[in-house]
Amino acid sequence: MTDYAIEARDVAVTYADGTEAVRDVDLLVERGEFFGFLGPNGAGKTTMIKTLVTLLRPTAGSVTVNGFDAVAEPRSVRATVGYMAQETSVDPELTARENLRFACDAYGVPRAERGDRIDELLELVELTDVANKVADDFSGGMKKRLDAATALVHRPPLVFLDEPTTGLDPAARNRLWAYFRRINDEGTTVFLTTQYLEEADQLCDRLAVIQNGAVVADGTPETLKRRVGGEVLTVALADGDESDRAVSIAREEGVFADGATIEPNANGLTVTARDARTRGTDLLVALRDAGIDVVGFDVRAPTLDDVFLAVTDEGAGGERASEIESTPTSAVPSGTVGDGGRGSSEAESGGEGETTGNGGDR
Ligand SMILES: Nc1ncnc2c1ncn2[C@@H]1O[C@H](COP(=O)(O)OP(=O)(O)OP(=O)(O)O)[C@@H](O)[C@H]1O
């Protein structure tokens, strides 16, 4: 048996209107890994997830999930994955327990196992006390926890989480992180997309960054941060309008070693350089000599935000990676992945996500 939970090679997905959402994507995710898939809005993350869970058919390339070919054996893929979509699959008129019972039906969990399985999941996501309350009364965080539990009823070895914590407050987010960590510790492979780079940093063993449908970087969070090339010096000026002049001075004085990137920011400038820490004071002196007032400076190790800015267009004056807002891209409920799941999948209904080539949607 292959060691990979996900093996995607040269995958392209082109929608019927000609939009090339994903191209030449190679993804190898090992069993047991916590894998992060990052990218700006519209980069192709949801398209890729939908392809991996067989809701969309690739236009080109091959996709193997849990050892099953996604095009030839979609039912086997669906039976062995859980999918927490961006949109909630919780039925507000049902209680938490009833929602889980419904999901057990959809995923064909044997009747004899359902009671224990549901109790165990309610406990995992700390909803035991409200098990018999209707979900309509739940907070956003509680609904997300119920969504997460719903995706796990059939104990899939691989779970897809599409921006699972968007819109939650930090406490609710932390709680979900704890569940995701726990299921991963227990052996479940996790494929996560997120707009929160800190989330990816905290949780993921390995990451890929996608931009305009193509993977532009991948590796462990640490490797990617090292790739940024040094430390990050931020200088705040009394007058933000002096930023461009300060940048010219930093570049022309040759303060930093070759390979440094020196860019203006809203209040001053940002330098990423191997010698940002040791040569930072030289820059401050040069700025003072030029009559530019410095009101603050800070040197820090790179974060995934810096990686994201370095490898995507977001660095060229776009919105900051950690502030990217997500735009829901479809109305596919989470429960559609299991065979006989609630509602029909896009793939089966030939709905919103029509693709070209390979016969389009099933
Ligand atoms: N059904 C569709 N038909 C045509 N184009 C689509 C369809 N769904 C998505 N797209 C386009 O495909 C590209 C990738 O979209 P996708 O939703 O996969 O990106 P994403 O990275 O998940 O974005 P977000 O973070 O906003 O969810 C975008 O240009 C999008 O407009």
pLDDT grade, residue 167 (50/70/90)?
Answer: confident
Specify the CATH number for the domain of residue 35: 3.40.50.300
Whether residues 186 and 46 share a domain: the answer is: yes
Tally of domains within the chain = 2
Residues with CB under 6 A from ligand 1: 15, 17, 19, 21, 39, 41-47, 326-327, 329, 352-353
pLDDT score, position 316:
45
The domain boundary residue, chosen from 301, 332, 357: 301
Q: What is the pLDDT of residue 233?
A: 94
Q: Where residue 314 falls among pLDDT bands split at 50, 70, 90? A: low
Name which residue leads in pLDDT, 176 or 185: 185
Instruction: Give me ligand 1 centre to Cα 330, in Å.
Output: 9
pLDDT > 70? residue 356: no
Give the model confidence (pLDDT) of 70-89 as tens digits.
999 999 999 999 999 988 99
Looking at the domain assignment, is residue 354 inside a domain?
Answer: no
CA 53 – CA 73 distance, rounded (Å): 11
What mean pLDDT do residues 119-124 have? 92
In a domain, 161, yes or no: yes
As a whole number of angstroms, the distance between CA 53 and CA 48 comes to: 9
Q: How far is the CA of 312 from the centre of ligand 1 (A)?
A: 17
The reply to whether 195 and 262 lie within a common domain is: no
| Domain match, 247 and 106 both | no
Q: Are 356 and 350 in contact (CB under 8 A)?
A: no
Question: ipTM, 2 decimals?
Answer: 0.97
Task: Specify whether 56 is located in the same domain as 117.
Answer: yes
Which residue segment(s) compose the domain that 262 sits in?
229-301
* Residue 306 in domain: no
> Does some domain include residue 63?
yes
Q: Whose CA is nearest to atom 25 of ligand 1?
A: 41
Inter-CA distances, 334 with 10, 58, 81, 134, 248, Å: 27, 20, 11, 19, 52
Same domain, 138 and 217: yes
337 in the same domain as 215: yes
Same-domain check for residues 258 and 276: yes
Do residue 53 and residue 164 come from a single domain? yes
pTM, two decimals, is 0.80
Residue nearest to atom 13 of ligand 1 (CA): 21
Ligand 1 centroid–CA 339 distance in Å is 25
**Closest residue (by CA) to atom 4 of ligand 1?**
15
pLDDT in the model for residue 338: 31
Q: Are residues 119 and 205 in the same domain?
A: yes
Q: How confident is the model at residue 351 (pLDDT cuts 50, 70, 90)?
A: very low
Q: Are both 44 and 60 inside the same structural domain?
A: yes
Atom number, ligand 1, closest to the C-alpha of residue 50: 18
- Give the ligand 1 atom nearest the CA of 17: 4
